Amino acid sequence: MTYIEPAPLQQENPLESMMQRFDVAFKLLNISPEMYDILMVPRKQVVVGLPVTMDDGSVKVFEGIRVVHSTILGPSKGGIRFDMGVTMDEVKALAAWMTWKCAVVDIPYGGAKVVFAVILAKCQPEKSSG
């Protein structure tokens, strides 16, 4: 018997995982191909620079991300997340999940997510009042 080394575990891509689930739902719910194409791509992605005055008076610019997945059912909603390890794909997935959650319970909102990732990595809020 030959031992086969298993492939190394890779971190799951949240966007790919969400899209796999959406593909299943698309087939089960008989969603039109046009609507599928609309819902596959976020409506808007914004990357911003946020200037912050530090304790020593210097100004540093940190990055924030906002993804609006859909506004088909109404204005977008979604929380703010502070996370050092976030990726754009994760933000897109979280915004899409909010779209699905609102649609399933018939809340007239689309999905969005705001993330400030780099602020925590560089600013270290526990050590700063800025």
Active site amino acids: 113
Helix or strand holding residue 64 (H, E): strand 59-68
Cβ-based neighbours of 76, under 8 Å, separated by 6 or more: 43, 68, 69, 70, 95, 98, 109, 110, 111, 112
Residues facing residue 47 across a β-bridge: 65
Beta strands 44-53 and 110-116: pairing type?
A: unpaired
Residues facing residue 119 across a β-bridge: none
Residue 89 CA to residue 100 CA, distance in Å, equals 17
